């Protein structure tokens, strides 16, 4: 899994995993940021009247498997997301040093 998330970094298409498009780690980090922003915001978001509507429809996507280091869910990844994020961050830093 980390290998796939790091492919855009190794290929020089992204500088870091969190800036690489179309990877599960970016999707998970973006979801965490959105969740934090929703939790911190007490005001509803308002779209300006002159904003153009998004005309491109998203295709349905399969859900990512959850991380679960506390239970034995059969379909979950058996460790915490924070551990996975640290692993990917460490491997990305190592890859940048070794070129």
pLDDT digits (tens, 9 = 90+) for 19-47: 888 889 999 999 888 887 776 665 444 45
The structure's pTM equals: 0.65
Q: In this structure, what DSSP letter does residue 31 have?
A: H
List, for residues 34-92, the tens digit of each pLDDT value.
887 776 665 444 454 555 555 567 777 778 888 888 887 888 888 899 999 999 989 88
> 73: which residues sit within 8 A by CB, 6+ positions away?
66
Hey, which residues does 77 pair with through a beta bridge? Answer: 67
SS3 84: helix
Question: Angle of helix 2-10 relative to helix 81-98, nearest 10 degrees?
Answer: 30
The CA-atom distances, in angstroms, between 1 and each of 23, 51, 88 are: 10, 38, 9
């Amino acid at each position: 899994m980390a290998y796939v998330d790091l492919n855009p970094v190794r290929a020089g298409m992204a500088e870091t995993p969190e800036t690489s498009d179309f990877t599960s780690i970016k999707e998970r980090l973006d979801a965490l940021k959105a969740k934090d922003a929703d939790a911190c915001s007490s005001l509803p978001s308002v779209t300006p009247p002159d904003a153009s509507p998004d005309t491109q429809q998203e295709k349905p996507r399969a859900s990512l498997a959850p991380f679960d280091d506390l239970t034995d869910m059969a379909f979950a990844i058996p460790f915490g997301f924070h551990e996975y994020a640290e692993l990917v961050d460490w491997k990305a830093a190592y890859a940048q040093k070794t070129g």
